Amino acid sequence: MLKAGIYLDIENLVRNGGRGMRFHVIRNLVEAQGATVLRACAYLAVDKEREQRDPEYRRKGEDYRNVLRRQGYHVMQKEVRRFRDDEGNLVSKANADLDMAVDALLQSENLDYLLLGTGDGDFLRLAQALQNRGRRVDLLSFSNTSHQLRHQVDTYFPGYLVPGLLTVVLDGVTRHRALMHAVNEEKGYGFLTLRTGLGPLDFRDDIFCHISDLRLGDLPVTNDEFSRLKERTNIIEFELQETPDGKVKAVNGSVLAPPW
């Protein structure tokens, strides 16, 4: 059993599509890789100055931090600092990157596996250093993820596709998200890969998708756009429908922007 640590750059995750994350799912994701979570740390900015003058803002901040604590995370707070730049503009800053990197590096002495929750390319060197120590390093992020970081880690988990991490419900119907892995350009259909669970082999790749069941915004998907869905790694959001012969197809689909 691997000994694991989780290190979440909360500001980066939330700012880039992770608002509303179910944090217990991240722990479950790590455990599904055959690991026991020994450390789970969440790094976030705290605007103490604003919290002192705005009780409602303070209440929401405390509630959010308590949610993290109840789900087993050690909350690391970085206080927002304000200063004047060379042009006299007021600048706010609360960067916890260094704290997260130092903690992950030091604590890796007693860990086999680390999950980094961030899309920030500044963590590339950290990932390399941890791997050079023989540690497995995986990555979880949403949009605006560094290509170099995504390619450096051992396994990349797009947060949009992790089952249960973000639940999308429209008019009472659960919608799924997947990637197109095969396209028949001439006949206008393809097949989607959908994660069905959190384990390495928990996925299915037999979901049929026809061009007529997809929209890009309010417009139908063109043949050229459809043919590029695989190479552009767009996320497809859809409803699942079982066909009379027992197979499954994507219906009422929408093409979302690439997640990185």
Q: What is the pLDDT of residues 77-104, one digit of tens each?
A: 988 665 555 555 544 455 678 999 999 9
Closest CA to 3 of 26, 37, 29, 33: 37
Over range 187-203, report the average pLDDT. 94
**CATH topology (fold) of 168-255:** OB fold (Dihydrolipoamide Acetyltransferase, E2P) (2.40.50)
Question: What is the mean pLDDT of the segment spanning 105-110?
Answer: 97
The pLDDT value given to residue 87: 56
What is the CA angle 208-247-220, rounded to 5?
30
> pLDDT tier at 50 (50, 70, 90 boundaries)?
confident
Mean pLDDT over the full length of the chain = 90
Can you give the pLDDT at residue 96? 79
pLDDT at site 92: 46
Span of 29-38, 131-140, 235-244 with lowest mean pLDDT: 235-244
Query: Hey, what amino acid is at 54?
Result: D
pLDDT at 169: 76
> Distance (Å, rounded) from C-alpha 127 to C-alpha 197?
25
**What is the DSSP-derived secondary structure letter of residue 73?**
P
What pLDDT score was predicted for residue 153? 98
- The confidence score (pLDDT) of residue 167 equals 80
Per domain, the residue ranges of the chain are 2-161, 168-255
Q: How confident is the model at residue 239 (pLDDT cuts 50, 70, 90)?
A: very high
pLDDT at 94: 52
pLDDT given at position 90: 42
Q: What is the mean pLDDT of residues 157-162?
A: 94
Give the alpha-carbon dihedral of 119, 260, 255, 167, to 10 degrees. Answer: -10
On whether the 2-161 domain is CATH 3.40.50.2300, my answer is no
Spatial distance between the Cα atoms of 127 and 130, rounded to a whole number of angstroms: 5
Q: Which pLDDT does position 79 carry in this prediction?
A: 83
How much is the average pLDDT of 118-126?
96
The helix (run of H) or strand (run of E) holding residue 5 is strand 2-9
pLDDT (0 to 100) of residue 85 = 54
Distance CA 159, CA 149 (A): 15
Instruction: Give the model's confidence band at 256: pLDDT under 50 very low, under 70 low, under 90 confident, else very high.
Output: confident
